[in-house]
Structure 1
Amino acid sequence: MSANSSSTSTKAVGECASLILQGRDRPGIVAAVADVLAKHNGNIVSLDQYSDDPEGGHFFQRTIVQLEGLKARLPELEADLTTALSEGFDITFTLRDLSQPKRVAIFASKSDHCLLDLLWRHSHGELPVSIAMVISNHPDLAREVQRFGIPYFFVPSQGPDKSEAEAEHLRLLKDNVDFVVLARYMQILSPSFIEKVGVPIINIHHSFLPAFIGAGPYAKAKERGVKLIGATAHYVTEDLDEGPIIEQDVARVNHSDSAADMQRRGANVERNVLSRAVYWHAEDRVLRNGNHTVVFP
């Protein structure tokens, strides 16, 4: 991807807010929301919706609304939406000013391809985020990151006890970020850290999960004689590599490709999959429902 979406780009339409709805499907939800937006003279720039079962299933909606004087008017709009959606609807919603980009921290180790791709896209205006910091368990990438003007924190993390490192991570992240991206960060996060960090964490995995997990995935793929290699971006949960999937992609390979060839081509897939996942999350295009996601790209 280019990180641009096929839908209307929210960064091109001025004072806009994202309105995300989730809950039990029933008639009248869209009309109720549209009535409130019309009352506030809001212009619906884009609208995506999905129901997994129109007979009482789960309903999802993403609306981008343009409203003059947005910042001052958001509290009243939110109050009116709360009132309208409390009248017989089992719906929750979030309303966010899109002029305030989400703040992200990127975790990395020694592999730089995903990290530098995100930094390059951000520096060229392709990712609507504010990168607060890069955190690594190695010092190797400090100079590369600092060229982008991004703070770099080296936090050693070795051995089975990661508590000291994770305490420092939590100190750095506290109240500073809205989500975390693991750009080939080769450390396992503890359940305690995942709970305490309190924000979504996105990971890039070097395969179609759960195939070829662990170290040396491309050597394993070569040994197995695969014809496709891929990558998966997913949310991190306490169950290792089992979190809700955001995006996946593949590249075709054949018998003549070496493990190094596969790794090189796989790195490109990883970059594209991760950048799409970060972009979609940043623009509130990913709606979680248990261990599944609804993505409005």
Structure 2
Amino acid sequence: MNGPVASSWVLTLACVDRVGIVAAVSQFLAERGGFITDSQQYADRESGRFFMRVAFEATNNRMDGGTQWLRVEFAPIGDYFAMDWRLTDVDERPRILIAVSKGSHCLADLLHRWQTSTLAVDIMGVVSNHPDMRRITEWHGISYHELPANGDKPTQEAALFDIFERTCSDYLILARYMQVLSEELVAKLVGRCVNIHHSFLPGFKGARPYHRAHERGVKLIGATAHFVTANLDEGPIIEQAVERIDHRATAEDMVRIGRDIETQVLARAVRWIADRRVLLNGRKTVIFR
């Protein structure tokens, strides 16, 4: 491979599984001087669907037309295989809007990763139903939108969605946002809203779940990041993690451990989304790591 690399891209696709998909994609790139740096694919025999993620670079000036030119060139292949596909420049960072209530751990972690350039996203703002997280948000130079519920949920959600659209956000990240989204809002954000919650559901719902889990002698603490659907906390799972504890752990220990796991799980989910590694597969996900 000679000469400087003009740019690099990621192509993701999903379609009905059939012979020739990988060959068509590889030939398309080879004919235009594309050098594949990473390629992963998965055929789901149960659903009959095929999923693929290809990262590639330009090796010559045949790709000087850029991202939009590549999309136009690839469109006939996408149509032929009836693909749901996306081709993006690796420098194109997803735009996220973060929603939070009073818990700071997940928000603070995302802000730190963003500020230190270890999370390739653009944070377009933070929305909250409380004033508590304003100081840390604005310290990072990010807009803070306080939207108290005040018993008028439709108005509050309309304002939230308006901010989402005005900032041209790609994803809404619920970083311990202690509000249940309406079915109407969830329908507008299908595949674009990610939530994080502790692993005690559905056994320990509501307030003080860690304390009630401690009372029952729970030995595993975990967290789940998932896409939000109308079925509460049952959307397609992106990432999970657990940590084992024993009888010596106090309720406060469990809260601390749980918060650490939540931050790690949510950060991984957002990073994989930013890297175009997450594809929806019905009620499940395909994660190309």
For 1:49 and 1:196, how far apart are their aligned partners in 2? 29
Pairing 1:1-297 to 2, within 5 Å after superposition: 15-53=7-45, 57-67=48-58, 72-87=65-80, 89-159=81-151, 161-175=152-166, 176-197=168-189, 200-207=192-199, 209-297=201-289
Cα deviation code 1:80-108 (max 9, x no counterpart): 32223444x34331111221201000000
Indicate how the Cα distance of structure 1 residues 138 and 247 shifts in structure 2: closer, same or farther if over 3 A, else same: same
State the Cα distance separating 1:206 from its structure 2 match.
1.1
State the Cα distance separating 1:57 from its structure 2 match.
2.1
- Given that 2:190 and 2:228 are in contact with CA atoms closer than 8 Å, whether structure 1 keeps it comes out as no
For 2:142 and 2:102, how far apart are their aligned partners in 1? 17
**Structure 1: which amino acid aligns with 2:50?**
F
- Given that 2:200 and 2:209 are in contact with CA atoms closer than 8 Å, whether structure 1 keeps it comes out as no
For 1:56 and 1:198, how far apart are their aligned partners in 2? 20
Structure 1: 5+ residue stretches without partners: 1-12
- Given that 2:190 and 2:229 are in contact with CA atoms closer than 8 Å, whether structure 1 keeps it comes out as no
**Structure 2: which amino acid aligns with 1:82?**
A
State the Cα distance separating 1:56 from its structure 2 match.
8.2
For 1:295 and 1:162, how far apart are their aligned partners in 2? 34
Please, what is the CA RMSD of the aligned residues?
A: 2.0
For 1:46 and 1:188, how far apart are their aligned partners in 2? 38
For 1:261 and 1:165, how far apart are their aligned partners in 2? 35
**Structure 1: which amino acid aligns with 2:237?**
I
Structure 2: 5+ residue stretches without partners: none
**Structure 1 SS opposite 2:18:** coil
For 1:100 and 1:30, how far apart are their aligned partners in 2? 25
Q: Number of matched residues?
A: 282
Tell me the TM-score normalized by structure 1.
0.89
For 1:109 and 1:92, how far apart are their aligned partners in 2? 35
- Given that 1:229 and 1:250 are in contact with CA atoms closer than 8 Å, whether structure 2 keeps it comes out as yes
Equivalent residue for 1:7?
A: none
Cα deviation code 1:34-54 (max 9, x no counterpart): 11111111111111111122x
**Structure 1 SS opposite 2:92:** coil
For 1:271 and 1:14, how far apart are their aligned partners in 2? 36
Greater mean deviation of Cα atoms: 182-191 or 60-69? 60-69
State the Cα distance separating 1:196 from its structure 2 match.
3.1
State the Cα distance separating 1:24 from its structure 2 match.
1.5
State the Cα distance separating 1:199 from its structure 2 match.
6.1
Indicate how the Cα distance of structure 1 residues 85 and 272 shifts in structure 2: closer, same or farther if over 3 A, else same: same
For 1:62 and 1:22, how far apart are their aligned partners in 2? 9
Q: Percent identity?
A: 45
For 1:276 and 1:155, how far apart are their aligned partners in 2? 28
- Given that 1:202 and 1:234 are in contact with CA atoms closer than 8 Å, whether structure 2 keeps it comes out as yes
State the Cα distance separating 1:168 from its structure 2 match.
1.1
For 1:66 and 1:56, how far apart are their aligned partners in 2? 32
Say which structure, 1 or 2, has more relative contact order (CA 8 Å, 6+ apart): 1
